[in-house]
Amino acid sequence: MNTLKITVFFIFFSHINTLFSQNNNIIPTPIEQRINNGYLHIKNNPEIITDYKFNSAATLFKDAIKKLELGADNKRKNVIKFSLNKKLGIEEYILSISSDQITVEASTEAGAIFGFQSLNQLMNLNLKNGVIKLQNQIIKDSPRFKYRGMHLDVGRHMYPVEFIKKYIDGLAMLKFNNFHWHLTEDQGWRVEIEKYPELNNIGSFRDSTLTGHYTDKPWQFDKTRYGGFYTKKEINEVVRYASDRGINVIPEIEMPGHSQAAVSSYPELGCTGEQVGVAPLWGVFKEIYCSKNETFDFLEDIIDEVIELFPGKYIHIGGDEAPKTNWKACGNCQNVIEREELKDEHELQSYFITRMEKYINLKGKQIIGWDEILEGGLAPNATVMSWRGVSGGIEAAKMNHEVIMTPNATCYLDHYQAKDINNEPLAIGGYTPIEEIFNYEPIPSELDKSLHKYVIGAQGNVWTEYMKTSKQVEYMVFPRIFALSEVVWSKNKPSFEVFEKKVIDFYPILNDMDINYSKHLERLEE
């Protein structure tokens, strides 16, 4: 076995004395956690022995130890081992803590990283006065679902790269494996595209932004230019950072709707050819991509540059909330309907999505789309993200398509999490307390058991119309993300009462991470 030894200033030593009470509460809850007699005290100076495949996990451990600023003790050296175990599943791990050694076993880098995350939680939960005392134990664990996602909309409001990394740290801690990065919108284009510079010169900036809530009439605007975009260098940095933590980044390039920022940059992409501005308002807009060859050429060029930035399996192409008003009056669109013998504009959208899917498939990628891509016929290889309830997911599963469940009533973290909204940050509406997310079951009860395999996981969505700052994002996400992590990972989910106590135990960790979390743990009404 190829191994790498990394020596840093660290020591493990065992001791029976109880310096402080033990906290072995990991989130999400492992399948099996067997507590044994004895303890491991961690101070300074380990020897890290790792299979070469697990260098990222070893590096994460080394960095975690540095951050903890443990006291010095050079009595004797002990070891943490990251060991290859080919018998384990893709994301499975075994974490063993004995009186003189820690071992993380895995068959993949992902498994080793998730094992590290459990260990890191234990270290942070049991840190006191520069000393970590861990109870001897064995943890055997693997996820319930292969897809465990969190989304972030940067089209309405965008955030610094350092915050994006911090957000990814939160996802990694809770063993999410997909970060869905919503990069284009009516209100702003956020990814650098070299072939079409006006997307960044024009489409990335709006002249004004709505103040107050959308329902407040008359609308008021701040009349302040707002925007920006992530450079290719910055995106590469984020993708690498996520990959080192076992997270795949999925870019979303919206089409055919939610495209006003792109149409404002290149008016010929729309049906009318008229100049429109980047939207200063939230909502759904009729300015969408025209279904003509010039549009497809443009989008294929976009996809070419996006694929170079994102090495993962998926490209999310949106497909939601695309009003057909302009298509009905557009000669180009009507000609396509006639030429392709399509029934109506809904089938035209299916043609649009299917054509783009074919191109993306040729590039070795697969598409994800919101459940509206079912309308008019589903593209052959598409994965459906069901947001308008669960019916879209059920329909797609019955067609033998993979499904990611993200119903807005349960999985949208832009909803209020407290009943007393007067003392809460402005939100889009709704009420989704943490207990509702905790109780969520991604596999619909009405779905035949033979089709359960098509539900590959679930995702939390963070739409940012009313989240001007990263601190607001944090407040809306934490701690509700803890509940979702239990839903998508744990095969041994505890009672809500037990979970609630675990969340409170994690408050000091969130403090150390400088996360602005909510302390609302509101129960659902009986």
> pLDDT grade, residue 10 (50/70/90)?
very low
CA distance 353 to 382: 9
Q: pLDDT at residue 131 above 90?
A: no
Give the model confidence (pLDDT) of 73-101 as tens digits. 656 566 899 999 999 999 999 999 998 89
Same domain for 100 and 183?
no
pTM equals 0.95
Q: What is the pLDDT of residue 474?
A: 98
Structure letter (DSSP) for residue 230:
B
Local confidence band at 130 (pLDDT 50, 70, 90 cut-offs):
confident
Neighbours of 398 (CB within 10 A): 13
Summarize the confidence of residues 162-189 as an average pLDDT: 98
Provide the domain limits for residue 241.
Answer: 147-298+400-512
Instruction: Tell me: do 266 and 187 sit in the same domain.
Output: yes
pLDDT at residue number 4: 44
pLDDT for residue 74: 56
Number of structural domains in the chain: 2
Residue ending a domain, choose from 122, 141, 160: 141
Among 141, 159, 186, give the residue marking a domain's end: 141
The answer, yes or no, to whether residue 124 has pLDDT greater than 60, is yes
User: Of 141, 164, 194, which one is at a domain's C-terminal end?
Assistant: 141
pLDDT of residue 523: 84
Do 136 and 237 share a structural domain? no
In terms of domains, do 458 and 472 share one? yes
Is 307 part of a structural domain of the chain?
Answer: no
Question: pLDDT digits over 350-402, tens only?
Answer: 999 999 999 999 999 999 999 999 999 999 999 999 999 999 999 999 999 99
449 in the same domain as 419: yes
Nearest partner of 412 among 425, 394, 431, judged by Cα = 431
Q: What is the pLDDT of residue 341?
A: 98
The CATH number of the domain where 122 resides is what?
3.30.379.10
Question: What does the pLDDT look like over 235-290, one tens digit per residue?
Answer: 999 999 999 999 999 999 999 999 999 999 999 999 999 999 999 999 999 999 99
Section 442-463 average pLDDT: 98
CB-side neighbour CA atoms (13 Å) of 489: 29
Residue type, 139: I
- 106, HSE (Cβ side, Cα atoms, 13 Å): 28
In a domain, 378, yes or no: no
